[in-house]
């Protein structure tokens, strides 16, 4: 009996130690999860400076989230998403569908790089769409190849999300291309407001949410780029406006398309969203 009590005590201590570890390292765990999942979905390096979770208020903030460029593009990044604030419905964190009340992306910076017969933004969108198709398969129930690494995270069997409101505000777009000889064209990004993401289907996978958000960003970026006075802005660079305008048009083809009183619930929700235990 004494040995059994000692063993039970040891198990309890291990559980407590594990919970303490998760609580202390929760921000780093979520940071690593965002970077891993984002890189896998976009095929571009995703990095995050910091994550701050307020477990008692069901809020989170993400700073310095940067989506790099796919292979073949040379600018520093495609998206630098400024400050992101998230407000959750904590009562849903242990359910199959998590409700996000509001997401605000403030002061993002977008670099629209022309090249490869397309743009970096359109390429990222295609990568996300390809990922969603791969993990969903023709029937929406998992890819035909049975890729457990992806389907476990993002097919219909995992935790889903409904986002009531998502705002992208105070954004800036810069256009870069080799033919501009180092110069950049800049414009403001129209405000984006998406409502009820995933609501109609009873919840969307994280990859589907990413697809919808990037599609909206791509459309806003192209609208902003199209409004630039290319002829005027390229004075002194040479007679390149025709080439730039044509390339922008070509690049646009195909685009259009807390945490419940503790760290445990949020950690479980994160695992459910991305299908694996994130590493520190």
Angle between helices 206-226 and 120-136 (to 10 degrees): 160
Distance CA 21, CA 169 (A): 36
Distance CA 185, CA 173 (A): 8
Residue 94 near residue 62 (C-beta atoms within 8 A): no
pLDDT in tens, 208-226: 888 888 888 888 888 887 7
Residues 148-174 as b or e (16 or more Cβ within 10 Å = b): eebbebbbbebbbbbbbebebeebbbe
Q: Where are the domains of the chain?
A: 2-274
Give the closest residue to 278 by CA, choosing from 2, 15, 21. 21
Distance CA 8, CA 3 (A): 9
Task: Provide mean pLDDT across the span 195-220.
Answer: 88
Whole-structure pTM value: 0.71
pLDDT in tens, 106-126: 999 999 888 767 888 889 989
Instruction: Inform me whether the pLDDT recorded for 259 exceeds 50.
Output: no
The DSSP element (H or E) to which 221 belongs, if any, is helix 206-226
């Amino acid at each position: 009996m004494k040995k059994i009590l000692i063993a039970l005590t040891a198990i309890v201590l291990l559980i407590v130690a594990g919970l303490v570890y998760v609580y202390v390292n929760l921000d780093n765990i979520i940071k690593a999860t965002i970077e891993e999942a984002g890189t896998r979905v976009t095929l571009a390096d995703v990095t995050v400076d910091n994550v701050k979770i307020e477990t008692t208020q069901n809020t989170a903030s993400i700073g310095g989230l940067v989506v790099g460029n796919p292979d073949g593009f040379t600018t520093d990044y495609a998206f630098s998403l400024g400050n992101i604030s998230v407000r959750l419905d904590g009562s849903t964190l242990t359910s199959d569908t998590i409700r996000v009340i509001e997401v605000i992306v403030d002061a993002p910076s977008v670099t629209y790089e022309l090249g490869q017969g397309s743009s970096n933004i359109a390429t990222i969108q295609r990568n996300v769409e390809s990922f969603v198709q791969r993990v969903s398969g023709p029937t929406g129930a998992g890819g035909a190849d049975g890729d457990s690494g992806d389907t476990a995270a993002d097919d219909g069997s995992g935790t889903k999300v409904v986002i009531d409101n998502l705002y992208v505000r105070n954004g800036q777009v810069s256009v870069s291309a080799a033919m501009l000889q180092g110069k950049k064209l800049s414009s403001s990004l129209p405000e984006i407001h998406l409502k009820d993401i995933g609501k109609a289907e009873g919840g969307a996978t994280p990859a589907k949410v990413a697809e919808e958000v990037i599609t909206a960003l791509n459309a806003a970026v192209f609208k902003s780029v199209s409004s630039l006075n290319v002829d005027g802005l390229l004075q002194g660079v040479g007679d390149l406006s025709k080439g730039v305008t044509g390339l922008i048009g070509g690049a646009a083809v195909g685009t259009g398309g807390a945490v419940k009183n503790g760290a445990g619930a949020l950690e479980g929700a994160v695992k459910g969203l991305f299908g694996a235990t994130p590493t520190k």
